[in-house]
Structure 1
């Protein structure tokens, strides 16, 4: 996740991604907090984080990888 975030931040600094206004950013934060709180367990948190990484990858030229497999691996590790 952190490397995908770094690519996103790089693209902001290179003016490839435009930061939305404060109102739009707050609406996005509120939506993300609502979706995160809707999860009932750690497994939901894994999928929530996976969806977040998908968003970061979609907005950048970050190399594609098996994100579904990564989420499954975290689920297996969690037990």
Structure 2
């Protein structure tokens, strides 16, 4: 699939017994990875990758990273979009 002008990314994150402090979507294609901060809305973390047309065509890996109040970091399995 082609990447549209903007792409909404959603993730469900839970952490017991700590609470999750930061959730980010890491976008990777070659040597220029970048992070998008995700915001919690009704139990789901979300962000929008805007202006995707400014990026080169190709495959992009999206990895969700979550950090809890104890400093533990977890990375989800990544997905690839084109």
Higher helix share: 1
Name which one, 1 or 2, has greater alpha-carbon Rg: 1
TM-score w.r.t. length of structure 1: 0.28
TM-score w.r.t. length of structure 2: 0.27
